[in-house]
Amino acid sequence: MGSIQYDIVKHIGKLSESSKGWEKQLNVISWNGRPPKYDLRDWAPDGEKMGKGITLSLEDLKALKKLLNHMEELQD
């Protein structure tokens, strides 16, 4: 398997940090030269290693936001 190329186009924010310093981040990333997508995954403190994550299109992200808003309404 070849190496994976990525370019973090925009760092949106950190959701959490583990006791070992890994951060769960939401970023906009271009993978292997493809158009950028929203990406949620863990990153090592030095930013060189990453954990498993999910990549979402803008449409997917909007649908997730809608689901989360609906879930919040149900809990009120």
Q: How many contiguous H segments (helices) and E segments (strands) does the chain have?
A: 1, 4
Residue 15 included in any domain: yes
The total number of structural domains that make up the chain? 1
Residue 1 included in any domain: no
Pairwise CA distance, residues 35 & 67, whole Å = 25
Domain enclosing residue 57, as ranges: 6-75
- Cα 23–25–26 angle (5° rounding)? 175
- pLDDT tens-place string over residues 49-66: 999 999 999 999 999 999
- Minimal CA–CA distance to 58: which of 43, 36, 42? 36
Residue 45 included in any domain: yes
Q: For residue 3, give both structure tokens.
A: 């190496």
Instruction: Give the predicted TM-score (pTM) of the model.
Output: 0.86
CATH number at residue 23: 2.30.31.70
Residue 49 included in any domain: yes
Which segment, 28-32, 47-51, 67-71, is predicted with the most confidence on average?
A: 28-32
Pairwise CA distance, residues 24 & 8, whole Å = 14
Mean pLDDT to the nearest integer, 16-24: 97
